[in-house]
Amino acid sequence: MTMQDRRPRDRGPRGRPLDDAALTEIQALLGASERRRDLLIEFLHLIQDRHGCLSARHLRALAEEMRLSQAEVYEVATFYDHFDVVKEGEVPPAPRTIRVCDSVSCMLAGAETLLEELRAGVDQSAVRVMRAPCMGRCAGAPAARIGDREVDHATAEDLLRMASTGDIQVRVPDYIGLDAYRAAGGYRLLQKVRDGALTTDAIIATLDEAGLKGLGGAGFPAGRKWGFVRSYPGPRLMSINGDEGEPGTFKDRTYLERDPHRTFEGALIAAHAVEAERIYFYMRDEYPAVLAILRAEIAALEARGLVEPGFIELRRGAGAYICGEESAMLESIEGRRGMPRHRPPYIAEVGLFGRPTLNHNVETLWWIRDIVEKGPAWFASQGKPDHPGVRSWSVSGRVKEPGVKLAPAGVTVRELIEDYCGGMADGHEFKAYLPGGASGGILPASMGGIPLDFGGELAKQGAFVGSHAVVVFSQADNIRDVTLNLMRFFKHESCGKCTPCREGTEKLVTLLQQPGPLPEDAIRDLETVMRDSSICGLGQAAPNPVNHLLTHFRSDL
């Protein structure tokens, strides 16, 4: 007998004994789905949705069914906030969960008080009350979610009533469905592209002339990105980044809840341009209504023959802000922990499943039809001088009329407040603002006249417009408290892959929580290390609020 003959056969996952009943339940739950590695997170969602948690017996059975090690399954399940992993002997979570957003806009609106009232008013064995990062409902702060029911201007009384009555199902708003969209001229542009009446080169030239940039945060020219992806040999893929997790941002949710096919048509045109074999639409789990809309409208597109079955594959995030970073999102789509990749290579060359990949944000795709149909001059003229284009601004905080505001690129925050939001809320005076969500820094009211756009004067101040999330603060707000809220968010959302981000965010929170003066030398050292050494933008941008606190708001220290 040879040494090879003496080796034990690979019997798959080992360690924890297999529960045959759990295996039967998993097999029934997965049904005829392919047991592909990249579907691991989708399968974990199925188990969580059915059983309310991920028990050890079910994780063991899933590993067996997918021919994966238990460690692989466990490390993915424990990475994402929306999975409740329950070990042997542990008590499963309560059957219902109320998640209260504690992000900065909801903090201003009384989220802490809401949390205290809920914890005092519920039986914790029946209803679990949890903090949650930004839910993208900042205009309705304080926001909460119970089951799949999203709640704006949440009160403890309403949430407790919903918990007791089981009124926790998703509410899908009225939106423009496929038939109504086509009746208004939708998908005619896509047909012209597919028929060859409009070439890819012509569309790229139009997007370049219009000045369309990526509106998810990076601001990279859209047409140039198409050219890069096309320059690499196929087969190619495309992804849509719907993981709108930046605190204060809710524009993509608003568009998808109103007119989803504008994004779909832009995506199909882009996919045609780069000859992508499939589109992966990654949508954050915090948006149950959007997920319901996307499932219904993808099915409608397939039923009408506008796309082949499976050409658009919807993937559901699981509560991880880091997956808004494009390479971390691709890792998540592949069924792994959402950790950023080292670059180069960039995803345009080596992306999803190792293929050249075009990645776009929801709003970027939303504008493609209008730009091509109305012309680049129309889009460019919507902006301020030297700032081409119109933008969607998510505005929240101490303003009378928060919401998504269509305003020119280069608009100032003072113009947003006065001309688009009805002014400051009663009794509040403008003190400070976030120009680009938690990452973009905090600027004082004295800088309220700076044009908001990529680069320019904003960049000179160490700030950026990012995802166009503007949160407005007043004399009622202590900027040290605001900064601590933002840093707690970054600490929670750091993926932990690189030491500067993982340890730096935790240390900054610790320092900000200490009473008395801040140790500024230590903070500046941390800031330098994080900016210079972190792998991705989370760690590099996380110190921005602390930097601006020390620079502009010394009276709040």
The DSSP 8-state label assigned to residue 38 in this structure reads G
Q: Phi and psi for 211 in degrees, rounded to 5? A: 85, 25
Q: Which two tokens stand for residue 274?
A: 């780069």
Nearest alpha-carbon partner for 82 in 318, 283, 268: 318
What does 272-300 look like in DSSP terms, one character per residue?
A: HHTTEEEEEEEE-TT-HHHHHHHHHHHHH
Arithmetic mean of pLDDT, 407-414: 97
Contacts of 452 (CB under 8 A, 6+ apart): 393, 409, 410, 411, 412, 413, 416, 435, 458, 465, 468, 470
The DSSP 8-state label assigned to residue 416 in this structure reads I
pLDDT above 60 for 5: no
Spatial contact of 86 and 54, defined as CB atoms under 8 Å apart: yes
What does 498-552 look like in DSSP terms, one character per residue?
A: SHHHHHHHHHHHHHHHSSSS--HHHHHHHHHHHHHH-SSHHHHHTTHHHHHHHHH
pLDDT digits (tens, 9 = 90+) for 286-296: 999 999 999 99
Spatial contact of 115 and 102, defined as CB atoms under 8 Å apart: yes
What is the reported pLDDT for 15? 66
Overall size of the chain counted in residues:
557
**Bond preceding residue 142 cis, omega within 30 of 0:** yes
Handedness of CA 143, 145, 146, 150 (dihedral sign): positive
pLDDT digits (tens, 9 = 90+) for 83-139: 999 999 899 999 999 999 999 999 999 999 999 999 999 998 899 999 999 999 999
Nearest alpha-carbon partner for 245 in 77, 43, 62, 438: 438
Distance, in Å, from the CA atom of 533 to the CA atom of 500, rounded to the nearest integer, reads: 6
Distance, in Å, from the CA atom of 505 to the CA atom of 339, rounded to the nearest integer, reads: 16
Spatial contact of 472 and 430, defined as CB atoms under 8 Å apart: yes
SS3 313: strand
Nearest alpha-carbon partner for 512 in 527, 496, 499, 498: 527
What does 315-357 look like in DSSP terms, one character per residue?
A: EE--S-GGGGSHHHHHHHHTTS---PPPSSSPTTTS-GGGS-E
- Scanning 123-199, the segments in alpha helix (DSSP H) are 156-165, 178-183, 188-195
**pLDDT band (50, 70, 90) for residue 14:** low
Q: Which two tokens stand for residue 438?
A: 């938690």
Distances (CA, A) of 132 to 48, 106, 388: 18, 11, 36
Distance, in Å, from the CA atom of 242 to the CA atom of 253, rounded to the nearest integer, reads: 8
What is the reported pLDDT for 286? 97
Amino acid (one-letter) located at 163: A
pTM score > 0.85 for this model? yes
Distances (CA, A) of 236 to 173, 233, 267, 548: 35, 8, 14, 42
- Scanning 67-187, the segments in alpha helix (DSSP H) are 70-77, 104-108, 111-121, 156-165, 178-183
Angle at 493 between CA 37 and CA 267, to 5 degrees: 55
SS3 94: coil
Q: Phi and psi for 357 in degrees, rounded to 5? A: -135, 130
Arithmetic mean of pLDDT, 313-319: 97
Percent of the chain with pLDDT over 90: 93
pLDDT digits (tens, 9 = 90+) for 270-287: 999 999 999 999 999 999
Q: How many CB atoms lie within 10 A of CB 166?
A: 10
Handedness of CA 514, 519, 520, 525 (dihedral sign): negative
Q: How many CB atoms lie within 10 A of CB 110?
A: 15
Distance, in Å, from the CA atom of 208 to the CA atom of 141, rounded to the nearest integer, reads: 38
pLDDT above 80 for 386: yes
Residue given tokens 């290390």 in the structure block: 529
Distance, in Å, from the CA atom of 545 to the CA atom of 525, rounded to the nearest integer, reads: 15
Q: Phi and psi for 396 in degrees, rounded to 5? A: -145, 180
What is the reported pLDDT for 516? 87
- Scanning 52-147, the segments in alpha helix (DSSP H) are 56-66, 70-77, 104-108, 111-121
Q: Which two tokens stand for residue 503?
A: 């340890």
What is the reported pLDDT for 1? 38
What is the reported pLDDT for 3? 37
pLDDT above 60 for 8: no
pLDDT above 80 for 482: yes
Distances (CA, A) of 102 to 107, 134, 135, 193, 397: 6, 7, 9, 45, 13
